[in-house]
Every structure is written in C-alpha cells, then in structure tokens.
C-alpha cells in the first residue's frame, strides 16, 4: 500500500504545537524566520537565543531528535555553498589554521549556515506537527485562492499514486535487464516518464469526470472546519514578538 506525500513527514503525537491550528503555525513560523533573516550576522548572541527557541519548539512538539536531524540533511546543497564562500569571497583576508580565508566570506558562511539551518528546523517543526490536510485548511484560512488550494490538495493526494506507477515501471524495466547508466538507456527511462505523463493526464480527466458526476460546478467546497481562537493566535504571536525583540535588539546593540 502506498503512502501519501505527507507520510513520514507528519509525526503523529499529541502536543501543544500539534493542537495549534495550521494558520497560526504558518504565520508564527514565517514571522519567526523573517526576524531571524533580518538579524545582522555578527550578533552572535541573538542566534543563540533563536537556537534556544527552536530547540524549545522541537521539545514542546515532542518531535524525536533523530527525526529532526535526519530531515535536516535537506540542507546539504547550501551547506556546500556556504563552505565555499570563505574561499571565493573578496575583501580582507584572515588566517585560519594556516589557510588564508576571506573575512567577509567567513562571516558570510556563518550567516548562510545559521539562518538557513534555523529556517529548515522551523519548517520541519511545521510539517512534522501539521497533517497535510490541516496544512491545506490553514492555507485556505489564510486566503490562499481556493483553486490553488485545490491544486495543492490533488497534488498531495496523487503523488503517491503517480510515484507508485513510476516505481512499477522501474521494476518492470529492471526486470528486463536494464541496469541504467548509458545514454542509450535514456530513451527507456524517458519513455517511462512520457508514459507517466499520459497516465497522469488521463487520470486527471477521470478525476474531473468523477467530480462532475458528484455535482462539481467549478467551486471547490471549503475544507476549513473551525477558526482559530484569539488565545491560539496569542500563542503564535508570542513567538513572533519574542523573535522581533531579539532582532531589534541585535540591530540596536550590535554583536
């Protein structure tokens, strides 16, 4: 049985973070990250505070550390970029362990790493504590156009089905002795992808027929169940307020 796009991403435990409505979490976490991004890189103490907040969030959401660390590997591409910066950036050089590095490059690397990492963990907290359906509901509540929410919804629903088709094609191909690698095999793989598009398109048409058969006339029904209470909004706002204070202090006080 295939899983959905949110499978393995949503950690199904009960926690205060899980219970918050998705729209509150979205606004709070995005606001938090904006504050992080606006903080000057040399205010090292500020990032210590942010890191503390983020760890507190992970713990409050009862997320297993191993899961969070594993999902953080998505960072790898920009970590590589960050590590290159001290070597390629211009400006005054500084000696680190016998290697001449650009001072602004080192600071820049720190800037990219710390902000990117904090952003990734914030996003992990969001997706691990919110089921895909609730996330869609939250987006709808935040006035994302219904059509866009519907497209997102169908995508999430059918990713597993389409990936399953792709997987079956791959198994069939490998069962016939294809082992991948040479350009001549490109045609086989591409043929599979092309066939996948046709299958997905035709399924899209059939889903549309099924929608028509159940009375769809162009307007998707609303999925949102309840509004967030003022208390819940206050909790989300609290996070942003703290982050804002830190960011402002960092700008005023400096590193």
Q: Which residues, 17 to 36, sit near other proteins by CB under 8 A?
A: 29-30, 33-34, 36
100 forms beta bridges with: 95
Exactly one of 97, 218, 226, 231 binds other proteins (CB under 8 A); that residue is 218
Q: Which is nearer to other proteins, 84 or 253 (CB)?
A: 84
Q: Does residue 127 touch other proteins according to CB under 8 A? A: yes
* Cα–Cα separations (whole angstroms), residue 183 to 147, 187, 188, 238: 40, 8, 10, 56
- DSSP secondary-structure letter at 94? E
If residue 177 lies in a helix (H) or strand (E), which one and from where to where? none
Q: What x-and-dash track marks residues 161-200 binding other proteins by CB under 8 A?
A: xxx--x-------------xxxx-xxx-xxx-xxxxxx-x
Q: State the minimum distance, in angstroms, from the CB of residue 230 to other proteins.
A: 23
Query: Cα dihedral angle (160, 123, 25, 243), rounded to 10 degrees?
Result: 180
Question: Applying CB under 8 A, does 92 fall inside the site for other proteins?
Answer: no
Give 98 or 116: the residue with its C-beta nearer to other proteins.
Answer: 116
* 20 within 8 A of 236, measured Cβ to Cβ: yes
How many residues bind other proteins (CB under 8 A)? The answer is: 104
Least Å from the CB of residue 221 to other proteins: 4
Q: Does 241 bind other proteins (CB under 8 A)?
A: no
Q: How far is the CB of 146 from other proteins (least distance, A)?
A: 9
Q: What is the dihedral of CA 157, 158, 160, 163, to 10 degrees?
A: -160
Report if residue 48 touches other proteins, rule: CB under 8 A.
Answer: no
Taking the complex as a whole, the smallest distance from the CB of residue 70 to other proteins amounts, in Å, to 11
Distance CA 85, CA 112 (A): 10
Query: Considering only 48-56, 92-100, 145-153, 232-240, which stretch makes contact with other proteins by CB under 8 A?
Result: 145-153
Q: Which of 58, 63, 118, 240 binds other proteins (CB under 8 A)?
A: 118
d(CA 244, CA 242): 5
Q: How far is the CB of 15 from other proteins (least distance, A)?
A: 18
> CA angle, 136 as apex, 135 and 139 as ends, to 5°?
90
Distance CA 53, CA 231 (A): 20
Binding other proteins (rule: CB under 8 A), the pick from 85, 228, 246, 250 is: 85
Residue 89 as a binder of other proteins (CB under 8 A): the answer is yes
Q: Indicate whether 64 belongs to the interface with other proteins (CB under 8 A).
A: no
Q: CB under 8 Å to 50, separation ≥6 — which residues?
A: 36, 39, 118, 243, 246
């Amino acid at each position: 049985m295939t899983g959905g796009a949110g499978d393995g991403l949503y950690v199904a435990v009960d926690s205060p973070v899980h219970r918050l409505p998705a729209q509150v979490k979205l606004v709070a976490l995005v606001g938090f990250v904006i504050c992080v991004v606006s903080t000057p890189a040399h205010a090292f103490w500020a990032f210590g505070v942010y890191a503390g907040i983020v760890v507190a969030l992970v713990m409050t959401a009862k997320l297993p550390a191993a899961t969070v660390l594993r999902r953080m590997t998505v960072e790898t591409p920009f970590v590589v970029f960050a590590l290159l910066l001290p070597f390629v950036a211009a400006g005054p050089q500084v000696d680190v362990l016998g290697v001449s590095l650009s001072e602004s490059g080192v600071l820049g690397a720190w800037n990219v790493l710390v902000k990117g990492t904090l952003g990734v963990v914030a996003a992990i907290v969001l997706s691990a504590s919110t089921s895909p359906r609730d996330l869609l509901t939250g987006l709808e509540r935040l006035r994302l156009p219904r059509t866009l929410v519907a497209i997102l919804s169908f995508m999430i629903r059918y990713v597993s089905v389409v990936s399953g088709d792709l997987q079956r094609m791959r198994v069939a191909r490998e069962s016939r002795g294809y082992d991948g690698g040479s350009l001549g095999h490109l045609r086989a793989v591409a043929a599979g992808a092309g066939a996948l598009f046709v299958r997905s398109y035709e399924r899209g048409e059939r889903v549309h027929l099924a929608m028509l058969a159940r009375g769809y006339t162009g307007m998707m029904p609303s999925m949102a169940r309840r509004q967030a209470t003022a208390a819940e909004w206050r909790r989300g706002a609290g996070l942003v307020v703290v982050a804002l204070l830190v960011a402002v202090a960092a700008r005023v006080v400096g590193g």
